[in-house]
Amino acid sequence: MNKFMLKGEVYGEPRLYGSGDKTVCKALVKVEKNYINVTAFGELSRILYSTKKGDDIDIEGRVQSGSYEKDGKKVYTQDLIVERFKNRGSELDEWLK
């Protein structure tokens, strides 16, 4: 099974890239003493982008592996892709997908 669940807080300001239906949001989430990068696409990217530093959030998603070439060497990556999101501090304290 390729799933993850996080309960943490937004650390720093989320960054939004692209426009229209092709938006991507990258955010850093603090979970206890760990800092975890997450990525959201489309509508979830705009919702994640609307969070502020310190907001308590819950995230469910999947792990996605990838790779790219840098200076002639292959670099392997793992991204945590957001599939469901909940901002525990907002008026809409419900899961969004």
pLDDT for residue 81: 95
The pTM of the whole model exceeds 0.85 = no
Q: What domains are there in the chain, each with its CATH number?
A: 4-87 (2.40.50.140)
pLDDT for residue 94: 59
Q: Strand 73-87 vs strand 34-41: parallel, antiparallel, or unpaired?
A: parallel
**CB atoms inside a 10 Å sphere around CB 76:** 8
**CB atoms inside a 10 Å sphere around CB 71:** 5
Q: Would you write out the chain's pLDDT as a tens digit for each of its 97 residues?
A: 789 999 999 998 999 999 888 999 999 999 999 999 999 999 999 989 999 999 999 999 999 999 999 999 999 988 899 999 888 876 555 566 6
How far is the C-alpha of 44 from the C-alpha of 83, rounded, in Å? 8
